[in-house]
Amino acid sequence: MANDKHRGQQFAEEVIAKTTEGDQLCEGKETYVAEEDEKEGGIERNPVVIENPLVQTKEVEKEEKFNPSTPSSYKLLLSENHSAVRICSHGEADAKLLSLLKLPVKDPQDFYSLGDIVANGQSLDGRIINVLAAIKSVGEPKYFTTSDRRKGQRCEVRLFDETESSFAMICWDNESIQLAQSWTPRETVIFASDVRINFDKFRNSMVATVISKTIITTNPDTPEAHVLLNFIRENAEMLDLEENMGEELRESINLQTILGVYTVEKIKMEASENEGKAEPFYGIIFAYISTLNIDDETTKIIRNRWLIFQPVREPD
């Protein structure tokens, strides 16, 4: 019993530190539940005090199918007549609890890079995984009405890391959309636990979706997140170059129209003649790399990647 009591207390501390990390159920009139849901936007990622909750044992397999996964075996049940949730006043929160806000709820080393997701492709379709990535851009929320007159909203966030320059993540709920609007592109790193990965036939690519299980930690205090943040800072000039190229330009290139063959000398002459012009030129070169100083400035490095691959069939 003493051990169970300790685990229950530990769970209560976890919920006080980050309410979205625990299973917190509201019981009462519809208006009460709605008010608590609306309040959650202000409570989330803030230390809170939960008064008079009922501590219950959690049915893990049943309840974690749609709710966030938590390391505790317990959940808190809030009652309209007996319970209350309030944000801690200034100076009331324990510093140890505040530090938990920067820790992911999952093992910080248990994540897929964006390049791994792309490489695995449709084998990950429908899987729930963890992702560590930086924010490239945050779209404006878009509002819509369904055929049965239910109102909805969505927001598309573009992610990137050392392995992939752009990857879509879709937010559908109000809380995640509000959180996304607070992110600063190319300055924010997130650890998203339990996002769903699907193959989008319209885009012909994999996308991530924030679901009811997802918990997002902004700028987590982990070695892996610090490495990614350093990558962003050290490659700022290269990222600027990619951004200036624009998604439209990079995705509209038809590789089969590139027929000109270049030598190194011809590329130098072409670059000299086109100096100061914004339009790029394309060609084919048969060459090998003789020297590549990886410690040199990023502005002196030219990076090429295949954007669209189409196999060429040799004539019989």
DSSP state of 52: S
- What does 232-253 look like in DSSP terms, one character per residue? HHHTHHHHHHHHHH-HHHHHT-
| Domain termination site, one of 74, 100, 126 | 100
| Whether residue 188 sits in one domain with residue 223 | yes
Q: Is residue 88 part of a domain?
A: yes
Any idea how long the chain is? 316
At 312, phi and psi to the nearest 5?
A: -100, 125
In CATH, what number is assigned to the domain containing residue 168?
A: 2.40.50.140
| Domain termination site, one of 206, 234, 262 | 234
| Domain termination site, one of 178, 203, 234 | 234
Note the pLDDT tens digit of each residue in 207-232: 999 999 999 999 999 999 999 999 88
Q: Is residue 127 part of a domain?
A: yes
Note the pLDDT tens digit of each residue in 16-71: 333 434 444 544 444 444 454 444 444 556 778 888 999 988 887 777 777 887 77
For the chain, the domain total comes to 3
Q: Is residue 312 part of a domain?
A: no
Q: Is residue 246 part of a domain?
A: no
| Whether residue 227 sits in one domain with residue 124 | yes
For residues 247 and 308, what is the distance between their CA atoms, to the nearest angstrom? Answer: 13
Q: 26, 22, 23, 42: which is closest to 34 by C-alpha?
A: 26
For residues 168 and 208, what is the distance between their CA atoms, to the nearest angstrom? Answer: 6
Asked if 113 contacts 169 with a C-beta cutoff of 8 angstroms, the reply is no
Q: Is residue 222 part of a domain?
A: yes
For residues 122 and 300, what is the distance between their CA atoms, to the nearest angstrom? Answer: 36
Q: 162, 200, 168, 205: which is closest to 307 by C-alpha?
A: 205
Residue 36 belongs to domain spanning = 2-100
Q: Is residue 243 part of a domain?
A: no
| Whether residue 282 sits in one domain with residue 224 | no
Q: Is residue 123 part of a domain?
A: yes
Q: pTM of the prediction?
A: 0.64
Q: Two tokens at 89?
A: 């006043």
> 93 or 132, which is more confident?
132
